Structure 1
Amino acid sequence: MADPGSELGADAGADTEPPVVVKLGGARAVDPAGAVGDVAHLAANGRRVVVVHGGSTAVDETLEQLGRDPEYVETPSGVTGRFTDAETMETFSMVLPGKLNTDLVVALRNAGVDALGLSGVDGGLLSGPRKSAVRVVEDGKRKIRRGDHSGRIESVDADLLSTLLDAGYVPVLSPPMLGEEDDGSGTAVNTDADRAAAAVAGALGAELVVLTDVSGVYADPDDPDTLIESVTTPDEFDRLEDAAEGFMTRKVMAATEALEGGARAVVVSDANVRDPVVAALDGAGTRVERSALADAGGSEAAATGGEGS
């Protein structure tokens, strides 16, 4: 196994293009159809592709159908994530690796892709310490909430993914991850899908394409005309971090972790344009190069393990 901070996979297939990790957002506004077609195109032309998906909207809707309110908490560092108690974890496991992963695998196979559905638990693909308590801010006060089912990815089985890729499969991966308990046992726990994609991209030395419902990161979050197209230096990266607000904060955190882990580059781009993955690889969206982290500070990796989009 490789930890996300290693360079494992970075030189794999040095005579070919690096793998592509495509992260599909779980928001209702993200249409996966364009990405499905692009994955089929890339795979047919010999590019190794891993798909990672979230499902926050579907989880929330299912919880509401079951008469439960989704619960989100804010950490002291200002990051918002899902609080996943035992009942929520049951719903989470039912929706993500169950329905959503199956539906996406079916769509890809219907497009001619030899897709194989996996969760982070399968084969211990994504693993790390389980967090049963999280620090949160409620009504302006710092508190500790217990009973959480989340985790921080510290290990990615890049060998398993490489074996599947070399055999011609397109792995389709979703949370949960395998959370390691103090007694050495494992528990299925929530983890953020953006950061799962980042860990996979880092372990494989891949290019990471994060597809969402906007064109990229905007210098002015309210003005799409201020798209930040390229980030290649630490100063530009600082400006990128300053510009990221709301859900985009997680995308930039994931980009940081991916590049620190060994990813070649990260692109945050629009899922709903024509040929979204190919467009992102060809220059659409916000592209962050590894050189941007030369002197940049570390990410807020321990902020929260809760799942986002």
Structure 2
Amino acid sequence: MTVVVKVGGARAVDPKDALADVSALIDNDEQVVVVHGGSTAVDDTLEALGETPEYVETPSGVVGRFTDERTMEVFSMVLPGKLNTDLVVGLQNEGVDAIGLSGIDGQLLSGSRKSAVRVVEDGKKKIRRGDHSGRIERVNGDLLETLLESGYTPVVTVPMLADDGVAVNSDADRAAAAVAGALSAELVILTDVPGVLADVDDESSVIERVDSSDAYETLTAAAEGFMTRKVMAATEALEDGAESATIASANTEAPISGALGSNGTTITPEAL
């Protein structure tokens, strides 16, 4: 079995237990690909440079980052630089032979660039140009499979390579989904909450299993804010061929193994 685990970039997510669990899974002959984001670190770096991170809302209600040229420069410094290195070092200390990759390396993640995006500002729909982001349409699965078969654990992050030859940002949850689909893997998205909650004010109200169209409608209705994008990523993974997709907390003992068991919200292909 291959597991693709997305380690969240939120401030409240501690990757320590996840890295130890990666080691345990590999000891049990599982293959693991780690994908990570780093929005919080990017925001902190922008603010340290005297700049304000910018987020926009799409007409469908999804909130995401607007990545201008300066923000893209910071992404290129922070994600494939410090954050990726820190995770690789952490895995090496757990006895895992990890190797860091950005989506640029070997054209690992590539697709079309969105130079303009539709946004809603002050209740009005507008077009914003100058965006440095894209949608991942191709994954170099051969590269990942070669590394996995050779005993390496890939640690993957954006940027991706756009069709016009430019490095651009892409959502890390959706990057993990694309990788999971390409490898027909089980996807685990680790975050700072225990799963998708039926009641956002009650952490015991986790929607545990989504394996029918009715359950999927309940799931999408319950997902709010940042969770909307994670459910979207899980859906894309399943549509692309992933075995399953689970959204669960990173801040538990053995969080990946727990998510592959009964923790979190698990969505199966039958739900779509």
- Letter of the 1:232 counterpart: D
Residue in structure 2 matched with residue 74 of structure 1 by the alignment? 57
Number of the residue aligned with 1:306 = none
Higher RCO (CA 8 Å, separation ≥ 6 residues): 1
**Structure 2 letter corresponding to 1:114:** D
Work out the CA distance in 1 between the residues paired with 2:191 and 2:204.
17
Measure, in 1, the Cα distance between the counterparts of 2:40 and 2:172: 13
Please state if 1:132 is matched with 2:115.
yes
Q: State how 1:142-153 maps to structure 2 within 5 Å.
A: 142-153=125-136
1:103-122 equivalence runs, <5 A: 103-122=86-105
Give the 3-state SS of the residue equivalent to 1:251 in structure 2: helix
For residue 133 of structure 1, report the CA deviation from its aligned partner: 0.7
Match of 1:267 among 215, 238, 246: 246
2:203 and 2:69 mapped to 1: Cα distance?
40
Distance 1:133 1:268 in 2: 30
Q: Moved runs in structure 1, 4+ residues, more than 2 A? A: none
Give me the whole-angstrom Cα distance separating, in 2, the residues matched to 1:279 and 1:226. Answer: 17
**Residues in 1 aligned to 2:229 and 2:242: alpha-carbon distance in whole angstroms:** 17
Residue-by-residue CA offset, 1:151-209 (whole Å, 9 max, x unaligned): 0010001111101110011000001000112xxxx110000000000000001000001
TM-score, normalised via structure 1 length: 0.87
Runs (5+) with no aligned partner, structure 1 = 1-17, 294-309
Question: Pairwise mapping of residues 105-254 of structure 1 onto structure 2 (< 5 A)?
Answer: 105-181=88-164, 186-254=165-233
2:9 matched to which residue of 1? Answer: 26
Name 1:303's counterpart in structure 2. Answer: none
Question: Separation in 1 of the partners of 2:21 and 2:253?
Answer: 9
Distance in 1 separating the partners of 2:190 and 2:147:
23
Letter in 1 for 2:252: V
Please say which of residues 280-289 and 193-202 is displaced more in the overlay. 280-289
Per the alignment, residue 287 of structure 1 pairs with: 266
- Indicate the residue corresponding to 1:12 in structure 2: none
Structure 1 partner of 2:43: 60
Cα-Cα RMSD: 0.6
Query: What is the alpha-carbon distance in structure 2 between the residues aligned to residue 34 and residue 241 of structure 1?
Result: 29
1:260 Cα deviation after fit: 0.2
Q: Structure 1 residue 225: deviation in Å?
A: 2.0
| Distance (Å, rounded) in 2 between the aligned partners of 1:149 and 1:207 | 30
Task: Give, in whole Å, the separation in 2 of the partners of 1:227 and 1:269.
Answer: 10
How many residue pairs are counted as aligned between the two chains?
Answer: 272
Deviation at 1:125, TM superposition (A): 0.4
- The unaligned stretches of length 5 or more in structure 2 are none
SS of residue in 1 equivalent to 2:34: strand
Instruction: Measure the CA separation in 1 of the matches of 2:29 and 2:258.
Output: 18
Query: Over residues 258-300 of structure 1, what are the superposed CA-to-partner deviations in whole Å (9 max), with x where a residue is unaligned?
Result: 000000001110100111011111111111111111xxxxxxx
Q: In structure 2, the residue corresponding to 1:159 is in which secondary structure?
A: helix
Deviation at 1:226, TM superposition (A): 1.3
CA distance in 2, matches of 1:200, 1:94: 23
1:225 and 1:25 map into 2 onto residues whose CA distance is 21
Cα distance in 2 for residues equivalent to 1:107 and 1:227: 30
State the AA in 2 paired with 1:191.
S
CA distance in structure 1 between the partners assigned to 2:216 and 2:145 by the alignment: 31
Q: Following the alignment from structure 1 to structure 2, what is the Cα–Cα distance between the partners of residues 20 and 172?
A: 12
SS of equivalent to 1:152: strand
Tell me the distance in 2 between the aligned counterparts of 1:117 and 1:178.
Answer: 16
Describe the SS at the equivalent of 1:133: strand
